[in-house]
């Protein structure tokens, strides 16, 4: 490596080290904002976060930094693997944000913060009109973001999708979602018509927050979550955030008569947390610790939530713990009944509470709405009615309240393009679960509670190179095949035909 390249790398690394300290503080403030921040202080706290984000952004907009990053990109073949990946990432970011001045970026931050505050109030008051103006501002910001991209793609949605899932296109998504609709819609009709009765009334029995907290603690311990480098709390909409190398935080939400809601949000978020705790620490040293796509990340959370968490073996594994913590709920219930209950198919309104089978339709609905909003074929004011019509079309249900419909998710307060990652995650993990099964029995490992075996395989094959490969390369390296929805659809058909005797 020549002297010029060494100096450029030193400049880039030094600048990023400072910017990441601002970003670390932003993560802490955002976590506080979504967990214990007093309601009247949420907007003010968001303004402080936007101020710090602006500081970090301005560092990356300095001419010296941009010039150094360009030098790295031009000499990337002389760099080691991780530094080359950093150079390529910075170049992509430069093309995406070249025309976004610090003032414009700060404006975007304030728009998203105002939208979050408006969403909280609107959901609490079950009033979409309270959120609509803020959502309109978000939509305008997203369109402006696309317009300012140096090399914008023809389809507006491809540009936003690429922020979360680089390389993915609406063409690929349309084909994958088309396959899902073709195979799942007829099967859903058969399931709904099935005379199979699955007992579920015990799922709505009352529980305390303390019982749910104890269960959350136990689940994270079983999964192998490292509490010396992580913690968990409660929030309105569960999420996981990685503050830094040794600080990954999980959140959940407690419902007094829906104990499974917290159980599965903890397993889901715990999966995200394991990913953050187990990928190579060297990725932090080279400033590429956030290069994995959201589809890669969601593949892991939904692997633990569904492929493990809803399996017979996992229910048998946690049965003694659950029975001890929730004696009044499970006193007259068998492990087999609990297994069937956690896998019951029941078309419903709330995405985060959706069963594994119908979940994909919740994503397809949001994907179709986002594309329509960006293309101008749908106005924000029309959203509640269109939302209800799509739920009726795909799932046969209609929300009576905005809080159970268009206001249920927080994601749109930060823009569009994220939701497909959840469905892609299911497709990715179905592929690598099949690959895993060629080496050992996942079912046997879960039954024994051998998460060191499971997590070890995930660390080696799934986590190890997630920051160093784009999703298409990553899934091909793990499985030897390109991304396909077929493994996921095969899995659903086999599992639910068996469950419902079809």
Report yes or no: 128 and 431 within 8 Å, Cβ to Cβ: no
Report yes or no: 428 and 201 within 8 Å, Cβ to Cβ: no
Strands (E), 77-229: none
Give dist(CA 343, CA 198) in Å, integer.
9
CATH class of the 170-499 domain in this structure: mainly alpha
Give dist(CA 288, CA 227) in Å, integer.
24
Residue 318 is encoded by which pair of tokens? 């946690």
Classify each residue of 464-498 as buried b or exposed e, where b means 16 or more C-beta atoms within 10 Å of its C-beta.
Answer: bbbbbbbbbebbeebbeeebbbebbbebbeebbee
For CATH 1.20.58, the residue range(s) in the chain are 3-152
Residue 329 is encoded by which pair of tokens? 């709920």
Give dist(CA 118, CA 17) in Å, integer.
33
DSSP 205: S
269 is annotated as an active-site residue: yes
Residue 216 is encoded by which pair of tokens? 């959350």
Kindly tell me the burial class for residue 242, based on how many C-beta atoms sit within 10 Å of its own C-beta (0-12, 13-18, 19 or more). buried
* CATH number for the domain whose boundaries are 3-152: 1.20.58
The closest of 463, 485, 258 to 363, measured between CA atoms, is 485
Kindly tell me the burial class for residue 145, based on how many C-beta atoms sit within 10 Å of its own C-beta (0-12, 13-18, 19 or more). buried
Q: Give the per-residue pLDDT at 1.
A: 77
Give dist(CA 416, CA 480) in Å, integer.
31
Report yes or no: 152 and 146 within 8 Å, Cβ to Cβ: yes
Which residue in 53, 137, 142, 269 is the catalytic one?
Answer: 269
| DSSP run (H or E) holding 174 | helix 170-193
3-class secondary structure per residue, 411-446? HHHHCCCCCHHHHHHHHHHHHHHHHHCCCCCHHHHH
Using alpha carbons only, what angle is made at residue 6 by residues 23 and 8, rounded to the nearest 5 degrees? 50
Please report how many Cα atoms fall inside a 13 Å half-sphere around the Cα of residue 298, on the Cβ side. Answer: 18
pLDDT in tens, 20-49: 999 999 999 999 999 999 989 988 998 999
The Cα-based distances of 436 to 352, 446, 478, 482 in angstroms read 27, 13, 9, 16
Low-confidence residues of the chain: pLDDT under 70: none
Q: Give the per-residue pLDDT at 134.
A: 98
For CATH 1.10.1370.30, the residue range(s) in the chain are 170-499
Give dist(CA 298, CA 488) in Å, integer.
14
Give dist(CA 466, CA 473) in Å, integer.
10
Question: Which residues on adjacent β-strands are paired with residue 322?
Answer: none
Q: Give the per-residue pLDDT at 23.
A: 96
Report yes or no: 402 and 126 within 8 Å, Cβ to Cβ: yes
Question: Which residues on adjacent β-strands are paired with residue 234?
Answer: 252
| DSSP letter string, 13-28 | HHHHHHHHHHHHHHHH
Question: Which residues on adjacent β-strands are paired with residue 244?
Answer: 247
pTM (2 d.p.): 0.93
Give dist(CA 329, CA 255) in Å, integer.
14
Report the relative pairing of strands 230-234 and 240-244 from DSSP bridges.
unpaired
Report yes or no: 413 and 115 within 8 Å, Cβ to Cβ: yes
Residue 271: how many other CB atoms lie within 10 Å: 29
| DSSP run (H or E) holding 243 | strand 240-244
Q: SS3 helix, strand, coil % of the chain, rounded to 5?
A: 70, 5, 25
Rg (CA), the chain: 23
């Amino acid at each position: 490596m020549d002297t010029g390249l060494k100096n450029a790398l030193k400049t880039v690394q030094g600048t990023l080290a400072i910017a990441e300290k601002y970003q670390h503080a932003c993560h802490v403030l955002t976590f506080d904002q979504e967990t214990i921040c007093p309601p009247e202080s949420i907007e003010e706290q968001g303004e402080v976060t936007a101020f710090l984000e602006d500081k970090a952004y301005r560092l990356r907009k300095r001419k010296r930094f941009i010039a150094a990053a360009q030098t790295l990109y031009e000499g990337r073949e002389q760099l080691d693997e991780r530094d080359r990946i950093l150079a390529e990432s910075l170049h992509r970011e430069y093309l995406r944000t070249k025309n976004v001045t610090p003032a414009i970026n700060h404006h975007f931050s304030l728009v998203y913060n105002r939208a979050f505050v408006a969403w909280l109030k609107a959901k609490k008051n079950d009033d979409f009109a309270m959120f609509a103006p803020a959502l309109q501002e978000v939509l305008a910001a997203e369109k402006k973001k696309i317009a300012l991209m140096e090399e914008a793609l023809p389809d507006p949605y491809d540009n936003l999708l690429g922020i979360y899932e680089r390389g993915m296109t609406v063409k690929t998504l349309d084909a994958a979602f088309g396959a899902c609709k073709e195979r799942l819609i007829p099967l859903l009709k058969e399931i709904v018509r099935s005379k199979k009765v699955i007992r579920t009334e015990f799922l709505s029995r009352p529980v305390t927050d303390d019982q749910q907290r104890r269960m959350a603690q136990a689940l994270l311990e079983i999964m192998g979550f490292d509490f010396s480098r992580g913690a968990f709390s409660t929030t309105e909409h569960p999420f996981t955030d990685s503050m830094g190398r040794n600080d990954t935080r999980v959140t959940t939400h407690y419902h007094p008569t829906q104990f499974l809601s917290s159980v599965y949000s903890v397993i889901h978020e715990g999966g995200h947390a394991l990913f953050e705790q187990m990928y190579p620490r060297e990725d932090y040293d080279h400033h590429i610790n956030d290069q994995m796509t959201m589809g890669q990340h969601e593949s892991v959370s939904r692997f633990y939530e569904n492929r493990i968490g809803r399996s017979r073996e996992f229910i048998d594994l946690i049965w003694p713990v659950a029975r001890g913590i929730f004696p009044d709920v499970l006193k007259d219930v068998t492990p087999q009944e609990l297994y069937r209950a956690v896998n019951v198919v029941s078309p419903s309104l709330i995405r985060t509470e959706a069963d594994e089978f119908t979940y994909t339709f919740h994503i397809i609905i949001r994907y179709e709405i986002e594309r329509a909003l960006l293309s101008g074929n749908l106005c924000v004011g029309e959203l509640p009615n269109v939302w209800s019509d799509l739920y009726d079309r795909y799932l046969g249900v209609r929300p009576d309240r905005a809080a159970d419909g268009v206001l249920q998710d927080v994601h749109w307060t930060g823009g569009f393009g994220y939701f497909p990652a959840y469905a892609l995650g299911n497709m990715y993990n179905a592929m690598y679960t099949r690959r895993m099964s060629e080496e050992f029995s996942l079912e046997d490992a879960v039954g024994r509670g051998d998460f060191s075996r499971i997590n070890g395989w995930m660390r080696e094959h799934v986590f190890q190179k997630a920051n160093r490969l784009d999703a298409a390369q990553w899934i091909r390296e793990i499985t030897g095949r390109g991304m396909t929805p077929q493994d996921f659809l095969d899995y659903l058909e086999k599992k639910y035909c068996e469950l419902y005797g079809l």
